[in-house]
A and B are shown apart, each in its own frame.
Chain A
C-alpha cells in the first residue's frame, strides 16, 4: 500500500510538473509568476462543476448525483471539524453526532417547530448553540483523558438523541418535519440557469435538466452542494489560519505532551475547550445544512453509528492533516453510494477496505506532518536498538 501510493505520487509528480511547465508561457502572458494558484482555481471550479458535468465513472447512476455530492459535502465538513478535535488537539470524541444533531435541531426548532426564521438567520444561531453545547460538554469532561474522554463523549451523543426522542418540545419520536429550504435569492426562475450534461458512448450532450442558481428547490440538490462547498472552502481557510497560529502550536504541544505543554505556558484546559467548541461549531454547521436540505429530522437520523463513521473518516484519511480528513470523508461517504449495485456486499466491502487501510497505513492515508515524523523517529530508534543487539 505504501509502495503503491508513493509510486503513484512519483509517477504523477512529473506529469503535474509537465502540465505546470506547459502552462507557464500562458501564465507569463497573463503576467502571473506561478501557475500554482490558477491551477488550484481551475481545480476548485471543476469541483463546483461536478454536479452539472455528470462525468462518467464518477457519476452515481442509481441515486441523484447532486444529492450524493451534498452528502459527501456534509461528511467533509464534519471531518474538518472533527479533525480539529481529534487531529489537532488529540481528543478522541466518539459522540460527535451529538453536535451535528444539535445544529440540525436548532434549525428545525426555529424555522419550523417553534418559529418561522429564515434559514440564513437560523444558521448563525445554530453555530452559537452548538458552540455553547461544546463548551457545556467540554467544561466538565475535558479533565478526563484518553479512553475515558471517548466514553464520556459517546454518552453525550446518545444523551442528545434520547433527550430529543423524549422531549415533546423537540418533536419527540416523530421528529420535526417541513423544515423549509433556504430562501431563494433572485427571481423565480433563478439568477441564471445552468444546463446539465449527460453522457452517451463517451460523448457529452446537453440535457434538458437545468439548475437554477441560488434557487433552493426540493428536487435539485445542486444549489445545496454549492452552498456547502462554499462553506467548506471558508472553513478550510479558517482552519489554515488557525493551524499556523499560536493556537495551532499550542494544540500540537497539548496533544504531544500535556504536562510539558503546561510548562511551556499553555493553559491546556482552555485550549482543549477551544478545540472542542470549534469542532462542535463546525459539526453543528454541517447538521444545520443537512436539516435544511432533507427538511425532516428525527432522533434515529443521528445514530451512534454516524459518530463512528465520522471518526473513521478522520482516522482513515490521517488525523492531523486536513486534506487527509477530507479524503477520508469522501471515501466513507462516496464509495458506498457509487457502488450501490453491490448493495448487499456494501458493508462487507467497506469493512474490508477499512481494515486494509488501517493495517497498511497505520497513520491514515495522508497523516499529518507531526505524526509522520514521530513514526519515522520511532523507526530509526528501533533500527538502532536492533543494531546494538547484534553488536
Chain B
C-alpha cells in the first residue's frame, strides 16, 4: 500500500528552484532512500514532506489524504515524524525530556502503549537508557543521533523521515546506525531516508531515487542502483 505519495512537486527558495517537478511514492513497510550531492534538494524534499517548507506547486499525499497544506503538527498527529539534519536535540533537556518532547502530542503518557514505545526506543538504543538523566548537549554526536531518531519514534509514527543520520559519525557508528534503520523497518515503521553515504544507504533500501539539482535522475531498487555504473561513478567512492 502506498503510504506517501509526492506528485510533481516544485519548491522554491525565493527565485531559486530547489525542487523541480519530482514525483515518487513510498510503500508501507519499506525503506526508501533519496541520495544525491549537496544542494541536490534532498533536505528540502524532506522539509516539504514534514511541512516546514511550503510547496510552490504539486501535492503531497499521506495515507491517501492530501496534506500539501497541512500544518506540521497535523502531520505529526497523522503519524509522520522527522529526525532532522544535524540531529538538533534540545541540548538543555535530558535524554528523557527529549524523548518526552517527541511524544508531546500523545495523550496516553501513563498508558502501557507509551511504556512499550519507550521500551522499544531503549531496545533500539540501549545507550539512551543508560543516560536518561544526562543533558543531551553533553553527549557525543553518535549518541545525539540516536536520541534524535528515538525522539522521532516516540510519537509512534507510521512513517519516519531520517535526514542524514550518518552525518559526521565514525564508520563503526555509521554501520550501527544503519543496522538500527533496518530494525526500525522490521518493527513495522516505514522509513524515508536521505543520505550522502550512498553505499550503506543503497544496500538496505527497497527503493532508491537519485536526486540531482532538484530532479530525480534515476530510480530503482537499492541493490540495482548500487550496481549502476553511473551511480557508482558519481556517488560511490570508497566503501565505508
Q: Is the CB of A263 within 8 A of B81?
A: yes
Q: A354-391, CB under 8 A of B: which get 1 and which 0?
A: 00000000000000011111101110110000000000
Does A61 sit at the interface, judged by CB under 8 A? no
List, in ascending order, chain B residues with CB within 8 A of A93's CB: none
Partner of A374, one of B50, B76, B81, B92: B92
Q: Is the CB of A373 within 8 A of B72?
A: no
Q: Is the CB of A265 within 8 A of B90?
A: no
Does B21 sit at the interface, judged by CB under 8 A? no
Partner of A380, one of B76, B100, B138, B152: B138
Does B222 sit at the interface, judged by CB under 8 A? no
Measured CB to CB, the nearest residue on chain A to B161 is A263
List, in ascending order, chain B residues with CB within 8 A of A256's CB: 90-93
Report the bound CA distance from A372 to B92 in whole Å: 8
Q: Is the CB of A265 within 8 A of B155?
A: yes
Q: B46-59, CB under 8 A of A: which get 1 and which 0?
A: 00001110000000
Q: Is the CB of B104 within 8 A of A265?
A: yes
Does A297 sit at the interface, judged by CB under 8 A? no
Q: Is the CB of B91 within 8 A of A265?
A: no
Q: Beyond A259-B52, A265-B104, A266-B104, is A252–B76 a contact (Cβ under 8 Å)?
A: no
Q: Is the CB of A265 within 8 A of B137?
A: no
Report the bound CA distance from A61 to B97 in whole Å: 49
Q: B93-104, CB under 8 A of A: which get 1 and which 0?
A: 100010011101
How extensive is the interface on chain B, given as a class? Answer: 20 to 34
List, in ascending order, chain B residues with CB within 8 A of A372's CB: 92
Q: Beyond A262-B72, A263-B84, is A370–B52 a contact (Cβ under 8 Å)?
A: no
What DSSP secondary structure best describes chain A's contact surface? helix
Q: Is the CB of B137 within 8 A of A249?
A: no
Partner of B52, one of A253, A263, A377, A378: A263
Report the bound CA distance from A13 to B228 in whole Å: 69
Does B82 sit at the interface, judged by CB under 8 A? yes
A-B contact count (CB 8 A): 83
Does B73 sit at the interface, judged by CB under 8 A? yes
Report the bound CA distance from A369 to B138 in whole Å: 15
Does B77 sit at the interface, judged by CB under 8 A? yes
Does A257 sit at the interface, judged by CB under 8 A? yes
Q: B64-89, CB under 8 A of A: which get 1 and which 0?
A: 00000001110011000110100010
Report the bound CA distance from A111 to B51 in whole Å: 49
- How many residues on the A side are at the interface (Cβ–Cβ under 8 A)? 26
Report the bound CA distance from A259 to B46 in whole Å: 13
Q: Is the CB of B137 within 8 A of A263?
A: no
List, in ascending order, chain A residues with CB within 8 A of B50's CB: 263
List, in ascending order, chain B residues with CB within 8 A of A262's CB: 51-52, 72-73
Q: Beyond A265-B72, A373-B135, A377-B138, is A253–B92 a contact (Cβ under 8 Å)?
A: no
Q: Beyond A376-B135, A377-B135, is A260–B104 a contact (Cβ under 8 Å)?
A: no
Report the bound CA distance from A378 to B135 in whole Å: 11
Report the bound CA distance from A131 to B72 in whole Å: 27
Report the bound CA distance from A372 to B93 in whole Å: 10
Does B105 sit at the interface, judged by CB under 8 A? yes
List, in ascending order, chain B residues with CB within 8 A of A267's CB: 71-73
List, in ascending order, chain A residues with CB within 8 A of B88's CB: 257, 259-260
Report the bound CA distance from A266 to B90 in whole Å: 14
Partner of B72, one of A252, A263, A376, A380: A263
Partner of A377, one of B71, B81, B84, B137: B137
Partner of A265, one of B76, B84, B93, B138: B76
Contact residues of B between 89 and 147, Cβ < 8 Å to A = 90-93, 97, 100-102, 104-105, 135-138
Report the bound CA distance from A381 to B100 in whole Å: 25
Does A246 sit at the interface, judged by CB under 8 A? yes
Report the bound CA distance from A263 to B104 in whole Å: 11
Measured CB to CB, the nearest residue on chain A to B75 is A265
List, in ascending order, chain B residues with CB within 8 A of A376's CB: 135, 137-138
Min distance, Cβ B74 to any Cβ of chain A, angstroms: 9
Min distance, Cβ B114 to any Cβ of chain A, angstroms: 14
11 CB contacts below 8 A, A to B, read: A260-B90, A262-B73, A265-B73, A265-B104, A265-B155, A267-B71, A369-B92, A370-B92, A374-B137, A377-B92, A377-B136
Residues of B within 8 A of A (CB): 50-52, 71-73, 76-77, 81-82, 84, 88, 90-93, 97, 100-102, 104-105, 135-138, 151-152, 155
Given contacts A263-B50, A263-B82, A374-B137, 13 further A-B contacts (CB under 8 A): A246-B104, A250-B104, A259-B88, A262-B52, A262-B72, A370-B93, A373-B92, A373-B137, A373-B138, A374-B92, A376-B137, A377-B91, A381-B137
